[in-house]
Amino acid sequence: MKCGGKALLLFIVSCMVSGCVIKTQTSGVLFCDTANPIYVSNEDLMTEETERQILTHNMVGERLCQWSGKKADESA
């Protein structure tokens, strides 16, 4: 087989093998496995940016993790 034929064969085999690759699951910890709602009290002093970040965090948790928006002791 000529050099060009070997290169073509190598290309075809590599294309066939790459089609068999299975994407592995994401390793690590998922957001809902570790995150909890952030609660604030009237005594907490925060900047507007901190308030925005807490609100964003809690909204993501409500959407992804079905957080209820109430503390566990308030639901009863």
DSSP per residue, 7-75 = HHHHHHHHHHHHTT--PPPPPS--HHHH-------TT----HHHHHHHHHHHHHHHHHH---SS-GGG-
The reported pTM is 0.55
Structural domain contains residue 75: yes
Structural domain contains residue 60: yes
Mean pLDDT over residues 9-21, rounded?
Answer: 73
Question: Could you give the number of structural domains in the chain?
Answer: 1
Structural domain contains residue 49: yes
DSSP state of 74: G
Structural domain contains residue 50: yes
Structural domain contains residue 8: no
Structural domain contains residue 53: yes
Query: What range does the domain containing 39 cover?
Result: 34-76
Q: Taking 90 as the threshold, does the pLDDT of residue 45 lie above it?
A: yes
Structural domain contains residue 39: yes
Contact residues for 69 (Cβ-Cβ < 8 A; gap 6+): 37, 58, 62
